[in-house]
Amino acid sequence: MMIVLLSQSLASTLSLAAKNNDAATTCVALGCLAIVVIIYLIESASSKRERRRKMEAEAEASYKRWRQAAESSGSLPTCDAPHTTAPDEVCYYSAGNVRLCEPRAVRNGQYHGVSVPIVSGLRIHSGGYRSTSHNEWRAIEIGTLSITSKQLSFLGEGGMTLKFIPQSKIEFYHAAPTQLLIQIKGRQRPMLFEGVNGQMARDIIEAIHSAP
């Protein structure tokens, strides 16, 4: 809030200095405004890191409680499924507000060469345009992830997107405190679920796959 008020004050000072053609005051105000922007970016990044650490700590504590309950009972804890299940199907995990992410190609291009002026408004260009691409994770849907004895399912908000992934189709999986990455047989792109208890989901999948 203090940064916002300071930014508004500097903006007013800049406006007044511009009207009065006060170059010195304008330069000082611009410098101060740049410092305010840098401070804001640093605080914003620090706040994001703190939120992430808090989420990971909460996920770790929840996983430990779940693990203790599973070891005490000798079986995986169960929960209600957000969708219809088969009579012999058991739901072990369900979480809402989960982001489904997939890798998407991002292209960047840059011109390399020489530009020679001929006449006013006309230039001759020699060289070429170089394009590069890389993959970035993009959130494509938000919804509810559930893990049952037979499948993983993802129900998008509004019920429009429903993905059923049989346990037998899961070829590879990797977990982080708040993420679950899975690779499905016959599917080129992996799927990343953010906002889940990754360790809990990993242990459930491992237990299902190792069951006789």
Domain limits, the chain: 2-50, 56-104+137-210, 105-135
Q: Which of 24-33, 53-62, 152-161, 173-182 is the least confident region?
A: 24-33
Average pLDDT over residues 175-179: 92
Pick from 177, 199, 175: nearest CA to 67: 199
Class level of CATH domain 56-104+137-210: mainly beta
> Exposed, middle or buried: residue 83 (CB in 10 Å: 0-12, 13-18, 19+)?
middle
d(CA 189, CA 30): 46
pTM strictly above 0.75: no
Q: Where are the beta strands (DSSP E) in 63-196?
A: 91-119, 122-148, 151-156, 162-166, 170-176, 179-184, 191-194
Tell me the per-residue pLDDT of 130-145, one tens digit each, with 9 for 90 and over.
666 677 888 888 999 9
Q: Is residue 200's pLDDT more than 90? A: yes
What does the block give as tokens for 107? 């292209």
95-115 residues labelled b (16+ CB within 10 A) or e (exposed): beebbbbeeeeeeeeeeeeee
- Quote the pLDDT of residue 2: 47
d(CA 184, CA 179): 16
